[in-house]
């Protein structure tokens, strides 16, 4: 969101003024500009929260529409559709874990949470590219908001190709902290663009994650 970026630039200018006022021992100016900095930070937080709400709404809206389309093609209770989606996710995670085992990468765990041989914790999420025109080249994923060292995002496109992004949390810490969070989950919105695959950041610049595609070396190694 451009407004957030502009406010962040304003905040940096205010901080410089505060530092200059403090150096000049101008208490009145320091207090006045400190209050301005607080107001600016409050506005940034409000806009970030709004951006998160918009992205969460967009996420749930299109996923509901995709579910409705699936129901029309194969009438069944929505609870069965949800179970079917979970089963597909489980199958794809197991297929991926089996695939990387051929690279001498062994994981222990179950569901969406695993540990590497070197002791790194990781969470695995899966999503299909949605078939609606406005959602092509987009993936919406979520993992439980809990401590983890590596996140694996499995994105299957409409042609059946699986793109696996292996993200080290420490390396992308600023991005990690800026990701949308809702109902105990961290949200990931991935877009395939001309420059590659990008992770959309609420209220900030997107992160190109193409270099993390199939980066299995992050999962290799043994506990010493």
Q: How many domains does the chain have?
A: 2
4-58 pLDDT per residue, tens: 667 778 888 998 998 988 888 898 988 899 889 888 888 877 776 676 666 556 5
- The residue from 45, 75, 105 where one domain ends is 75
Q: What is the CATH number of the domain that holds 201?
A: 3.40.1350
Q: Is 203 left (phi over 0), alpha (psi -120 to 50) or beta?
A: left
> Do 65 and 19 sit in the same domain of this protein?
yes
- The residue from 58, 75, 92 where one domain ends is 75
pLDDT > 90 fraction of the chain, expressed in percent and rounded: 45
> Do 133 and 30 sit in the same domain of this protein?
no
Residue 176 sits at φ, ψ, to 5 deg, of: -60, -45
Q: Are strands 121-128 and 113-115 parallel, antiparallel or unpaired?
A: antiparallel
Q: What is the residue range of 62's domain?
A: 1-75
Q: Are strands 196-199 and 207-208 parallel, antiparallel or unpaired?
A: antiparallel
Those residues with Cβ within 8 angstroms of residue 32's Cβ, 6 or more apart along the chain or in another chain: none
> Do 84 and 172 sit in the same domain of this protein?
yes
Residue with the bigger pLDDT between 79 and 101: it is 101
> Do 71 and 167 sit in the same domain of this protein?
no
- Could you give the angle at the alpha carbon of 151 between the alpha carbons of 81 and 102, nearest 5°? 90
Q: Mean pLDDT lowest for which of 14-23, 60-69, 85-94, 166-175?
A: 60-69
Would you give the distance in Å from CA 152 to the centre of its chain? 11
> Do 34 and 141 sit in the same domain of this protein?
no
> Do 91 and 179 sit in the same domain of this protein?
yes
> Do 1 and 58 sit in the same domain of this protein?
yes
> Do 71 and 88 sit in the same domain of this protein?
no
Q: Looking at residue 72, what is its pLDDT?
A: 45
> Do 56 and 140 sit in the same domain of this protein?
no
Confidence band for 85, pLDDT divided at 50, 70 and 90: low
> Do 48 and 82 sit in the same domain of this protein?
no
Task: Judge whether residue 135 has pLDDT over 80.
Answer: no
CA distance 31 to 35: 6
Exposure letters 78-92 (e unless 16+ CB within 10 A, then b):
eeebeeebeeebeeb
> Do 150 and 217 sit in the same domain of this protein?
yes
- CA neighbor of 100 nearest in space, from 37, 177, 164: 164
Task: Judge whether residue 71 has pLDDT over 50.
Answer: no
- The residue from 47, 75, 103 where one domain ends is 75
CA distance 203 to 4: 6
> Do 179 and 101 sit in the same domain of this protein?
yes
């Amino acid at each position: 969101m451009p407004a957030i970026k502009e406010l962040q630039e304003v905040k940096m200018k205010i901080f410089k003024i505060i530092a200059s006022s403090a150096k000049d021992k101008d208490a009145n100016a320091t207090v006045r500009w400190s209050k301005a900095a607080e107001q600016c930070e409050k506005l940034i937080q409000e806009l970030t929260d709004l951006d998160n709400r918009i992205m969460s709404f967009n996420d749930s809206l299109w996923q509901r529409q995709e579910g409705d389309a699936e129901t029309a093609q194969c009438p069944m209770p929505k609870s069965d559709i949800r179970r079917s989606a979970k089963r597909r996710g489980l199958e794809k995670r197991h297929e991926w874990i089996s695939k990387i085992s051929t690279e001498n990468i062994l994981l222990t765990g179950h569901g969406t949470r695993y540990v590497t041989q070197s002791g790194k914790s990781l969470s695995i999420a899966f999503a299909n590219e949605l078939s609606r025109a406005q959602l092509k080249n987009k993936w919406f994923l979520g993992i439980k908001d809990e401590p983890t060292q590596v996140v694996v995002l499995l994105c299957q496109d409409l042609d059946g190709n699986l793109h696996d992004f292996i993200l080290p949390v420490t390396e992308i810490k600023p991005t990690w902290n800026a990701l949308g969070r809702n109902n105990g989950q961290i949200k990931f919105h991935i877009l395939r663009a001309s420059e590659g695959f990008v992770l959309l950041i609420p209220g900030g610049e997107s992160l190109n994650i193409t270099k993390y595609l199939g980066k299995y070396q992050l999962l290799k190694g043994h506990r010493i």
